[in-house]
Amino acid sequence: MNIAIIGSGMAGLATARILKDAGHNITIFEALPGRGMDSHSMEFDGGLIDAPLRVMNPHLWKNTLSLATHLGISTYPVRTYMACSWLFEEKTETWLTTTRSRIGNFPIISNRKGLQQYGWRLVKGMLQLKVAIAKFFKSKNQDITLADFINQNEIEEVFLHGAVMPVLYTICTCNPKTIGEWPAKPLLIFLRQLTDGDALLRLQGGTPALVDKLIDGIEIISDAPIIDVKETEQGVLVKNNHQQSFIFDRVIVATPTTKVEEFLDKAQFSEDIELLKKFKFEDGDLVIHTDATVMPPKRKDWSVLSYMMDRQFTRQQFTVWLNSVEPSLVGKQPIFQTWRPVTEIDPKKIVASVKLTRAVVDSKTVALNKELQLRHQQPDRKVFFCGSWSCDGLPILESAVTSAMNIAEIFNAPLPFVGLKPKVEVAPQLGY
């Protein structure tokens, strides 16, 4: 069939690749000038910057990494050690730094102050969390929110809000209130896997390398937002703002659901629009910059991940030190990504500011997804929807790939990449 994919984020590109390899003719439409998934990637000082930086646990991102392996992309390990600092005081105090053990890759406290002042509290919190997670997965009621889980279990505050929650903010890019409404199960699976010592992996060549493979041999029409999608006797009409019109056998919409009202015919798709409007999203700014004030005051305390927070845990920000995880930036001028900064960043040192949109997962999301999948099973269905928002779990690449796999099942398309182990190579510039 002739199939249109609207949107070139991970869900759209993965769907396009799978259906193209199954023998369909695919055309991708993208509103942005480039490719949606890597539209914010850039060069800096001769090196590559991905925005956002993407690193993946091989168990939690198994389908994403399997797809990359199937496409011939290798990975390299990244040790995500961290530093935590108190903000909004006379001087910034780094109260915890960690490293990873050479054997097992387990997180360990590496600074004296962290051991002396918080060591026992952190160890106690770790044990409490492990017990609470084990109890949760033995219980019959696993349909609770993260806030419910926290309220039902006693977990040391410094460990929970100073070390655990910042990690979840990093993955989910959510504020504290929003993340409390998430279903607890996928987040606890993530934390359980994280504490088991698995190294994170990064794709060789970053996001652009993956996008190049995903669109290989597929036509992509960029910088032309879709303004109309309508079913006709000839097929599904797709029109862009350049007044170009196309007819397709099927159309797959892979955009945030907040965009569908801009192009779906309101008479034909009124029920779909109403359902999709119930999915929630939130925006936030990712600032790419060279301002080292977001890092611990002492250079020896700099870590891949720098978390800063007040002592009441009401304001927090996290920063990624890109030079420590991207080989092409090793030895170059220090460059950082800070998500939703709460401290002022020197405007002269800002390289770029990117607005990112992320799906919000809550207790209603599961029911909405079930309703959407039921609609996809309608025998005369010609327009389908996918995205990281359309799967239960973390709204990241894995959810996007999973949603593409769901579409593939509808089209009886094979999934030859499932179960492939990532090919891990050494990144010599990083020293491991």
The pLDDT value recorded for residue 104 is 44
Mean pLDDT for all residues in the chain: 88
The pLDDT value recorded for residue 100 is 54
pTM of the model: 0.90
Angle at Cα 219 formed by Cα 216 and Cα 222, nearest 5°? Answer: 110
Go through the domains of the chain in sequence order and give each one's CATH number: 2-47+204-279+364-430 (3.50.50.60)
The pLDDT value recorded for residue 108 is 59
> For tokens 């007044």, what's the residue?
243
3-state secondary structure of 403: helix
- Residue 240 confidence (pLDDT) above 90: yes
pLDDT (tens digit, 9 = 90+) per residue, 41-54? Answer: 999 999 999 988 88
Q: What is the DSSP letter of 72?
A: T
C-alpha of 149 from chain center: 23
Which residue type does 195 have?
T
Q: What is the DSSP letter of 424?
A: B
- Residue 132 confidence (pLDDT) above 70: yes
Which residue type does 431 have?
G
Interval 89-112 mean pLDDT: 66
- Residue 109 confidence (pLDDT) above 80: no
The pLDDT value recorded for residue 174 is 62
Residue 16 contacts residue 5 (beta carbons within 8 Å): yes
The pLDDT value recorded for residue 432 is 46
pLDDT (tens digit, 9 = 90+) per residue, 331-371? Answer: 999 999 998 899 999 999 999 999 888 888 877 888 898 99
Distances (CA, A) of 313 to 220, 293, 357: 45, 19, 24
Distance between CA 220 and CA 17 in Å, rounded?
12
Distance between CA 308 and CA 304 in Å, rounded?
13
Which residue type does 396 have?
I
Least confident of 140-154, 173-187, 354-368: 173-187
Residue 272 contacts residue 385 (beta carbons within 8 Å): yes
Q: Give percent above pLDDT 90 in the chain.
A: 55
Distance between CA 395 and CA 137 in Å, rounded?
22
The pLDDT value recorded for residue 43 is 92
The pLDDT value recorded for residue 394 is 65
| Of 400, 412, 387, nearest in space to 280 by CA | 387
The pLDDT value recorded for residue 89 is 81
431 pLDDT band (50/70/90 cuts)? low
The pLDDT value recorded for residue 264 is 97
Token duo for residue 329: 């930036």
3-state helix, strand, coil in the chain (%, to 5): 35, 25, 40
Token duo for residue 28: 């991708």
Least confident of 99-103, 128-132, 197-201, 227-231: 99-103
The pLDDT value recorded for residue 387 is 92
Token duo for residue 301: 């305390």
Least confident of 68-72, 110-114, 313-317, 380-384: 110-114
Residue 9: CB partners within 8 Å, gap ≥ 6?
Answer: 36, 37, 254, 255, 387, 388, 400
Distance between CA 341 and CA 51 in Å, rounded?
15
Better-predicted residue by pLDDT, 264 or 119: 264
Interval 273-284 mean pLDDT: 90
Instruction: Name 283's bridge partners.
Output: 357
- Residue 308 confidence (pLDDT) above 70: yes
- Residue 226 confidence (pLDDT) above 80: yes
